[in-house]
Amino acid sequence: MKKKLIIYFVAIGAGILVGKYLASNFNLSASPKTKTQVSKNQEEMPGHQDLSQVVKISMEELKQKQDKGEKFYLLDNRSYEEYREKHIQGAISIPLEEFEKKISELALEENAEIITYCHGWHCSTSKIAALKLKEKGFSNVKVLDGSTKEWEAKGWSIESS
């Protein structure tokens, strides 16, 4: 019990530190902003990522793409453990920690449609992955406004590995 409690507090502390780092280095906010809501000064701030470039896709839109058999890449940016437990059908596991290596291994076409997701819109991981893809020259990148948990709650296909 004592060991679990220590691990819990260490995890909370690490989460706070990571959150502060991401917020200060990637200009992340709690609520998503559209291009018109982002001030000119904020877009030009050196050392900060421009979240106005992040395009959102709803779970319903993603489900329609799946049902129609459209070609796209769905990247799960959560940990391998979370991916193995359950993930949206057809997703490829690319944790942010291994993003650079795994993306180059996929050899995606620059015009490929790529959708990233993690724990929902409030989670910054998929937004950071989307911005990294844009920096690499991929132009058709979107972030899912939803999570595996929300997907499963709708009764849609979930896989585990």
Is 153 found in the same domain as 88? yes
What is the mean predicted confidence (pLDDT) over 29-43? Answer: 35
Is 61 found in the same domain as 36? no
The string of DSSP letters for the chain reads: -HHHHHHHHHHHHHHHHHHHHHHHHH---SS---GGGS-HHHHT-TT---GGGPPEEEHHHHHHHHHHT---EEEE-S-HHHHHH-EETT-EE--GGGHHHHHHHHT--TT--EEEESB-TT-SHHHHHHHHHHHTT--SEEEEESBHHHHHHTT--EE--
In this prediction, residue 88 has a pLDDT band, given cuts at 50, 70 and 90, of very high
- What pLDDT does residue 121 have? 87
- The encoded tokens of residue 26 equal 């990637």
In this prediction, residue 9 has a pLDDT band, given cuts at 50, 70 and 90, of very low
Is 84 found in the same domain as 33? no
- What pLDDT does residue 43 have? 34
Q: At what angle do helices 2-26 and 125-135 cross, to 10 degrees?
A: 40
pLDDT at 38 exceeding the cut of 50: no
What is the mean predicted confidence (pLDDT) over 57-78? Answer: 97
Q: Which of 32, 49, 66 is the last residue in one of the domains?
A: 49
pLDDT at 95 exceeding the cut of 90: yes
Is 75 found in the same domain as 17? no
Is 87 found in the same domain as 107? yes
pLDDT at 12 exceeding the cut of 50: yes
Is 42 found in the same domain as 10? yes
Is 65 found in the same domain as 34? no
Q: Compare 161 and 70 and report the one with higher pLDDT.
A: 70
Is 61 found in the same domain as 16? no
**How many folded domains does the chain comprise?**
2
Q: Which of 28, 49, 70 is the last residue in one of the domains?
A: 49
Q: Compare 52 and 41 and report the one with higher pLDDT.
A: 52
Domain that holds residue 45: 1-49
- What pLDDT does residue 26 have? 47
CATH number for 161: 3.40.250.10
- What pLDDT does residue 50 have? 66
Q: Compare 91 and 53 and report the one with higher pLDDT.
A: 91
* Whole-prediction pTM: 0.69
Q: Write the pLDDT tens digit of every residue in 112-127.
A: 999 999 999 889 999 9
Is 44 found in the same domain as 78? no
Q: Compare 138 and 6 and report the one with higher pLDDT.
A: 138
Mean pLDDT score across all residues of the chain: 79
